[in-house]
Structure 1
Amino acid sequence: MARRKRLVRKNEDGGAGDPPLVRPRVESVPGPRWTLGSRVKDVLLDGARPPNEVSLSQCLKRVGCDGGVPNGDFKMDVVIQEPEFYIPEEHTRRRILSLPECRTYALVYKVVPLLEEKGIAGLKQWGDADNAAVKNELRDELADDGLWNKTRGLLDNAFNAVNDTEERERRREEERIESGIKKVTFVEGLYDSVVNATWACVKSGAAGEPLGMKIYQGHVSKKVIGPEMLWKEKEVNFFNTPDDEVDEQRDRKDGIEIFVLTSRMGWPYMVYRGAEQASKTPPKEFYCGVFVRREVVRVWYIVKNSLDVMHGEAADESTHRFTLIGSPGIGKSFSVGAFLLYMLLRYDANRLHIVAWFIDGLVYVFLKNEQPGKVLEFCDQMAAEAYIRLQVANGSQVYVIYDVGRSQIGPESNWCRNWPGILISSPNDGNCKGWFKSDGAGAVYINCHHVREIKAIHVWRERLLHPNSTLSEVENTWIDLSVRIDVVGPMIRYVLFRKNYSLRENEIGSVMWGLNDDMMELYEKVIDNKKTWRESKSSHKIVKLVRVHYEGCDEDFRNKGVSPKVYNGLMKMVMLRKKGTEERRQILEHVLSNYGRDSAHLFETSTIYTFLRKELLEKVAHNLVKLREPRNRELPECDSVICRRDSAALYPKELAFIREGEKRELKCGVLYVPCDSCFPVLDAFFVVEGEARTVVALQATRAEQHHTTVSKVLQLKKDLAERFCEWNIFTDELRWEMIYVQPAGGNVIKTKQLCGGAGVARKAVSTFWNKVQQYQVSLEPESYIGVEPAVHVGALMNIFGEAEIEKNIKKDEQKS
């Protein structure tokens, strides 16, 4: 017999259009998913709608009272407290209070306050084993076995359901982890490859070798190269004070610029897998060698001292966890992580049994207490953690290298807090937050590479990749790299690889042009050291981290422009934002006090403006030296246009900032300064009138050399053509001079700077560059000698040419 359809009266469940008073049938919707945090009030409602959402009129309709009532709009959470007042008619009141949902409301109204008074607000408190006495008191106060039985039944059922669910989830998680442990891969040969990695070093001061550097493989002066030859702790544990420059050349008595540590199978950062990587460029041998510099060795000494303290060998106070923070792209994972792994595997095996490297979802577990040593690769991080936790419970000592890597996801708060280790990260709070919350986590900051270290890496790489390269080829390639350093900074990820460099150069340009007022205000605070800039999507492209030490404090860091080009651009933009003399004076005062009187950044930013002052241009003309050909020992006679004519009539009397998208007429007597931080080849220029017009290009630098490339010269011509009207009409008639302006007492450029690179335009560009007359001048402003910073500021304000800048700002305001 067919089943009859159930007829629903119009007023059932609140009537047409009204929501039902109880939740739908169990067959249609699963029950609520309780947790230990669920409130007892919600559990006791047993699926009914909360009383504050149900009106009295809806309940009246449920019992067939369709007529209007005076109190029908009141909600049931109010009505249930005094039903006699809101429902005077006894028969109606009894029918309403008999509704299942209203009996539930009465239960909630009476029981929940008693539970909360006794500290039971949620399921967790209800299920605590030590509250039996509280439950007995509650039963007595209710004085109603029916209410008590229903209350206990609902809460016990919910609590048991939570326990059952958590138990099932725990078992599933254990099965998943157990399955992950069973799927672990044994990486055959990797332990031996790492622990027996071979050593080489690159030493400077070798005459006749490429860039004066020579590679020593396996031994130096009949001593085997290895950890015994590393620099001592006092040699690497230096700090930059606020007046120091990170790139200052420090004494290298041994001549060793870098060590190279090579594992034939690679490192956990990039394990060689045979045929799958055999076709990669550079070849796998490049990734098998890691570069060990002084900054890397310093990190090891910090970790080693911590381990010694933990095992009672040293008495000093030390933390058991560290966070290594440095600029992206400097080899924190590739160099620091690999070198720490090597040294930890060689640390006392009686004190350290397991070294685990977490990186990008993979975990490599090195077992030192196995004979021979083994390496397990886990694709499931939780399975690896469970395995290590079991080993630690059995008495093993572990050290963790947690590499945030490309995922940019750090560990959760209080992650495995009893395991000592080091987190490798960029300056991003999100990566380090969970790790820092652990007790005793300390910060270790790492500087970028020194230019000489990058030069040594270049020499080693050239011999590896191009073993037949000639001395001149190695040196010409270095010219390209030095130009890259000047633009993107000492970041080997972008300096060593052309594709990475091109992408980063474009990114820097986009960031600089995209800076709004809010961002510029922040960078201005970074420049005057009022604010520490941490990494964002754009900041790490234009600033770099520098480790410093302030008296009475642990090591700290501050930020600088990632390269002279970028810093100069930021300074120009900051100065242009300053509308008054006093504001510019203040920013210069901050820069001087925070970066030191001899700051390379400040010198390279401000010194070109000396050419706006007649008396200083006369000094330039008097001290100018013409650069000789590299193989010519004789000093040529200086024949610059500013030496041959009256310099008083030549000096630029007006300042003009040139921007992309603006086209203007080229005039004599104007000092043109590009606003673009990545403008190639020159920092500024002016034109001198004569039989043949002369372009005097200016390049301020503290470096020992400042070569350029074919592509940079081509870009220079293109940029000038886009910014000046009819530039190409008379360029053939122009005579070019390049003056390298340097601070007295520092490095001195002595020979003509070269133009390296290849391409179809090389011949034409080389012809042009060979015609450019090159000069050098060392400047030592009198205002820098034996006087206070306030006087330096005054001198610099004069150098910047207050009247000219004011005039230029007013012109720009009128244009806009």
Structure 2
Amino acid sequence: MTAATEQSEQTNGNADVQAKWSYSDSLENALPPGCGNPETVLLRNFLRTYLPGEALSYADSQVTMTTFMREPARYVSDERLLGKILGLEQYRITQLWRDVRALRARNVVTFGDWNMVASATRRAVSDATQALLDEALRCVSRSRPAAPVSVEHCKLADERSRYRSVYNASWSFVESGHASAPMGMIVVDTECVGEPPRMWEEREVDVTPFPGEVDAVVPGTDDGLELLVLISEWGWPSHLFRERKCDAIVRREVVRAWNILKRGIDNRRANGGTSPRRLYSLLGTPGTGKTAAVAPFFLHQLLHCSADTIGAVLYVVCDSGYVFFNLGSRAGTVKEFHYVCDALAVVNVLADEGVQGCAIYDRCEPESMTNLPIGTWEVIVFNAPDEKIFYKIEEQTVVNYILFNGYNRRELMALHAWDQHKRGSGFLPILCSSNWSVIESQAETVGPVPRYLRDEIPYNNECLSIRECIRCFPDDQRDFLINTLLCRVKRLPRVHVYCLLKIVRVKHGAGEHFVMGPCSSAVEIELRRVLLKDCYYLGRLMRRMVWCPETCVKLFEMFGVCILLHRDVSELIVRKLVPLPRACGCPCDDAARRRTRLRKFPEKYRVISCGVHDKPNATQMSVKTDVLYIPDLLSFPLFSAFYFTRGPSANSTAAGCKRKRGRNVKKSGPLVLVGVLATPRKVGGTPACAVVQFTERMAECFDDWNVVRGGLRWVVVYFQHHSSAAMVNRQACVVSEGAMSEEDCENVRLLWDEAEQQQVQLDEEIIDVLLVHC
């Protein structure tokens, strides 16, 4: 006999009592006596009452019954004990009470509400609860005729449910600092509504990186809070209240944007409402959470403002509008409008009545931007930087831009932890990979953009768009590729955002501004390969390297080694090379190194393919001498370029080969690896880990690397920009404590001590010769 049958029989057995119920009675009347509110009853107390003496195997002593019911096996690992708990009659009753309280959160309170409930809401509770309530409802129907329910009443109930779903959205969060958990992060479900149980301080969120620190690794926080998750049971208006889109990921950038808006609202209230209403525009890379996170969080926070400060909120999405009422006879409801003009008419009426409010425009067409309620309410526009949109809003008033950065690596990792939590709890199906290394690798291709990483189909489409965009890029717009690599694409907002770009907020003097650069390492590689293979644009690069003071240093770091490809320039550079002595100035050491003095740089070059995020290279090659190998990855370890050559043999001298028996004897000398580092600034010590990473990359690129590396001699050439100070001594190899084994450290030290180091600076004489080729 099933639980549902038992419940039906119990209900039929109590028909005399149930016949006294009406459609206005609470659903809780149909339930057997409970064991307390499952949202507040702790699992440990439940077991002490109904299974005394049983030992518990879960770590968190504050787990509630509601949380336990979502993932029982997570909190009780003992299968025997878990089976006893699930078989308890009191546990079954507690499940029924949990379901009925979940219905209450959806504004389904009475038998009349259950009679009109939508199928999606029915599926939110268990089959046993459905059977019990349906049978109770049939008894109510037999006892009294159902009162007719008007369409207006049903609509009003739905409006209240949507409002309460947003207003009573619950909080969860992702926390780091758990070494035993995957990626060191866990998800904590709090069931807390209203204000979040934890929140970052303003100093933690109001952080703007310098241009060179945009992709730097972000350390964890002291308290371990990585992400907040805001969950609305009915979903959000940004996705038209679809239940499958019910979670909003709140990260530091989202809170920072809210703080900016809140300051404006608070200032107006402090000035007695006399301050002008502002128009805000949120700018950021498409797909990083403006619609999916910022809009829901803003709406939730606005609804929790006092009614005299925010009496109503207009939410416009695409061509529809919603008005959330915080004040008046319709307080606690949300009205949907199929035309934006109808919603704006309501806003104007409210404004005439003195109601203060805020309007949110999300993914709107340019036509919807022609009649913003500017001067009436605060207005926030969410949209990708689109030239048409900005012309429309800038024509109407002064725009206050909120600059919004995308995900960093830790936030992406925390998002993945949340997705895996949903996958394990059956919250909803996840279409992305369960392997973090796969997600991280995909981010190296399309960038850290959740829109493409959480679903395989958008990811594949974005990869195709990136390839097509680079392959079909017009030759007359190659300057755009150069500016992209330099993060100097035309300043926002009047610019179209290509799939190649990401947009970041960086420090600019005492303030901040946006820069746009490659969205990922893979895009950076492809752009660099395109430019390195274009002889005409290499010439343009050389000219910009000399004549453009704003970008010459960055260009020198990126493409300075290409100067060596011009024969007369490279010959001049060879003559200007200066050996770097050891600090002790040992003369015999200097004399030994003069035997490998460089005589020329290669005139041929080859761009070698580098994998990103540990991806193997597509092809391997054999080591060839007198070919300058230029990596397509800017962050290639140790060197900007390198080549192999033959050093003088043991029988040769600085004066040349000796004559023996009437003829010249030339013996092939040892193989020499010459690494060139183009650097615009003073070089510090070389990290030992960079040497190890370089050798690992070489093994990926060259199939015979392990054969030739044993007899290699190393020469390091520091090619310095004229703005940097000349070196005086050899650069040391720096070993970070604990980063490598002692054996690896010793091997790297020996290799570095035997390597010759030379330097040359890009001076005026070299520049004059270079300009002949530009």
**Could you list the runs of 5+ residues in structure 2 that have no partner in the other structure?**
1-153, 575-594, 638-674, 695-700, 710-714, 728-758
1:212 is matched with which residue: 184, 187, 190? 184
Deviations 1:55-86 (A, max 9, x none): xxxxxxxxxxxxxxxxxxxxxxxxxxxxxxxx
Provide the C-alpha distance between the structure 2 equivalents of 1:610 and 1:404, rounded to a whole number of angstroms. Answer: 50
Amino acid at match of 1:257: E
Deviations 1:336-358 (A, max 9, x none): 10111111111222211001110
1:396 is matched with which residue: 346, 350, 355? 355
In the alignment, which residue of structure 1 is the partner of 2:523? 566
1:349 is matched with which residue: 307, 316, 333? 307
1:326 is matched with which residue: 284, 309, 327? 284
Matches within 5 A, 1:470-619: 477-528=435-486, 531-532=489-490, 539-551=497-509, 555-577=512-534, 579=536, 583-588=540-545
CA contact (8 A) 2:362 2:382 kept: yes
Provide the C-alpha distance between the structure 2 equivalents of 1:575 and 1:312, rounded to a whole number of angstroms. Answer: 58
Amino acid at match of 2:525: N
Provide the C-alpha distance between the structure 1 equivalents of 2:404 and 2:391, rounded to a whole number of angstroms. Answer: 19
Instruction: Give the number of equivalent residue pairs.
Output: 508
Q: Kindly tell me: are residues 362 and 745 of structure 1, through their superposed partners in 2, closer, same or farther at Cα, counting changes over 3 Å? A: farther
TM-score, normalised via structure 2 length: 0.54
In the alignment, which residue of structure 1 is the partner of 2:658? none
Provide the C-alpha distance between the structure 2 equivalents of 1:586 and 1:316, rounded to a whole number of angstroms. Answer: 55
2:165 is matched with which residue: 173, 193, 198? 193
Q: Kindly tell me: are residues 781 and 298 of structure 1, through their superposed partners in 2, closer, same or farther at Cα, counting changes over 3 Å? A: farther
Provide the C-alpha distance between the structure 2 equivalents of 1:751 and 1:224, rounded to a whole number of angstroms. Answer: 51
Provide the C-alpha distance between the structure 1 equivalents of 2:416 and 2:284, rounded to a whole number of angstroms. Answer: 22
Whether 1:788 and 2:747 are equivalent positions in the alignment is no
Secondary structure of the residue aligned to 1:308 is: helix
CA contact (8 A) 1:204 1:255 kept: yes
Provide the C-alpha distance between the structure 2 equivalents of 1:466 and 1:501, rounded to a whole number of angstroms. Answer: 23
Deviations 1:487-541 (A, max 9, x none): 1111111122111111111111111011112321233345446651668998420
Provide the C-alpha distance between the structure 2 equivalents of 1:504 and 1:305, rounded to a whole number of angstroms. Answer: 37
CA contact (8 A) 1:320 1:420 kept: yes
Deviations 1:133-182 (A, max 9, x none): xxxxxxxxxxxxxxxxxxxxxxxxxxxxxxxxxxxxxxxxxxxxxxxxx9
In the alignment, which residue of structure 2 is the partner of 1:411? 369
In the alignment, which residue of structure 2 is the partner of 1:264? 233
Secondary structure of the residue aligned to 2:214 is: coil
1:431 is matched with which residue: 366, 389, 393? 389
Matches within 5 A, 1:700-779: 700=633
Secondary structure of the residue aligned to 1:490 is: coil
**Could you list the runs of 5+ residues in structure 1 that have no partner in the other structure?**
1-181, 275-283, 616-645, 657-670, 691-695, 705-738, 754-767, 811-816
1:244 is matched with which residue: 206, 213, 228? 213
Whether 1:373 and 2:339 are equivalent positions in the alignment is no
Secondary structure of the residue aligned to 2:499 is: helix
Provide the C-alpha distance between the structure 2 equivalents of 1:424 and 1:189, rounded to a whole number of angstroms. Answer: 26
Provide the C-alpha distance between the structure 2 equivalents of 1:587 and 1:747, rounded to a whole number of angstroms. Answer: 34
Secondary structure of the residue aligned to 1:229 is: coil
In the alignment, which residue of structure 1 is the partner of 2:175? 203
Secondary structure of the residue aligned to 1:227 is: coil
In the alignment, which residue of structure 1 is the partner of 2:199? 230
CA contact (8 A) 2:178 2:185 kept: yes
In the alignment, which residue of structure 2 is the partner of 1:292? 250
Q: Kindly tell me: are residues 408 and 457 of structure 1, through their superposed partners in 2, closer, same or farther at Cα, counting changes over 3 Å? A: farther
Q: Kindly tell me: are residues 503 and 309 of structure 1, through their superposed partners in 2, closer, same or farther at Cα, counting changes over 3 Å? A: same
Amino acid at match of 1:205: G
Q: Kindly tell me: are residues 224 and 290 of structure 1, through their superposed partners in 2, closer, same or farther at Cα, counting changes over 3 Å? A: closer
In the alignment, which residue of structure 2 is the partner of 1:384? 343
Q: Kindly tell me: are residues 457 and 204 of structure 1, through their superposed partners in 2, closer, same or farther at Cα, counting changes over 3 Å? A: same
Deviations 1:551-601 (A, max 9, x none): 25x54212111112212322343444454887434545799965987xxx9
CA contact (8 A) 1:359 1:404 kept: yes
2:322 is matched with which residue: 344, 347, 364? 364
1:465 is matched with which residue: 417, 423, 426? 423
CA contact (8 A) 1:685 1:697 kept: no
Provide the C-alpha distance between the structure 2 equivalents of 1:486 and 1:700, rounded to a whole number of angstroms. Answer: 12
CA contact (8 A) 1:199 1:261 kept: yes
In the alignment, which residue of structure 2 is the partner of 1:687? 622
CA contact (8 A) 2:492 2:514 kept: no
Provide the C-alpha distance between the structure 2 equivalents of 1:683 and 1:789, rounded to a whole number of angstroms. Answer: 37
Amino acid at match of 2:622: V
TM-score, normalised via structure 1 length: 0.51
Provide the C-alpha distance between the structure 2 equivalents of 1:403 and 1:248, rounded to a whole number of angstroms. Answer: 31
Provide the C-alpha distance between the structure 2 equivalents of 1:797 and 1:468, rounded to a whole number of angstroms. Answer: 62
Q: CA deviation at 1:608?
A: 12
Amino acid at match of 1:388: V
Provide the C-alpha distance between the structure 1 equivalents of 2:241 and 2:512, rounded to a whole number of angstroms. Answer: 37
Secondary structure of the residue aligned to 1:265 is: coil
Provide the C-alpha distance between the structure 2 equivalents of 1:797 and 1:751, rounded to a whole number of angstroms. Answer: 29
In the alignment, which residue of structure 2 is the partner of 1:76? none
Amino acid at match of 1:558: V
Provide the C-alpha distance between the structure 2 equivalents of 1:795 and 1:185, rounded to a whole number of angstroms. Answer: 78
Matches within 5 A, 1:83-102: none
Q: CA deviation at 1:440?
A: 3.5
Provide the C-alpha distance between the structure 1 equivalents of 2:432 and 2:689, rounded to a whole number of angstroms. Answer: 22
Amino acid at match of 2:174: V
Deviations 1:645-684 (A, max 9, x none): x9999x995655xxxxxxxxxxxxxx44359999974499
CA contact (8 A) 2:610 2:617 kept: no
Q: CA deviation at 1:422?
A: 0.5
Secondary structure of the residue aligned to 1:444 is: strand
Provide the C-alpha distance between the structure 1 equivalents of 2:482 and 2:247, rounded to a whole number of angstroms. Answer: 40
Provide the C-alpha distance between the structure 2 equivalents of 1:212 and 1:698, rounded to a whole number of angstroms. Answer: 34
Secondary structure of the residue aligned to 1:427 is: coil
1:420 is matched with which residue: 372, 378, 381? 378
CA contact (8 A) 2:176 2:225 kept: yes
Provide the C-alpha distance between the structure 2 equivalents of 1:314 and 1:781, rounded to a whole number of angstroms. Answer: 67
Q: CA deviation at 1:419?
A: 2.1
CA contact (8 A) 1:243 1:594 kept: no
Amino acid at match of 1:510: E
Q: CA deviation at 1:189?
A: 1.1
Secondary structure of the residue aligned to 1:194 is: helix
Provide the C-alpha distance between the structure 1 equivalents of 2:693 and 2:301, rounded to a whole number of angstroms. Answer: 45
Q: Kindly tell me: are residues 459 and 422 of structure 1, through their superposed partners in 2, closer, same or farther at Cα, counting changes over 3 Å? A: same
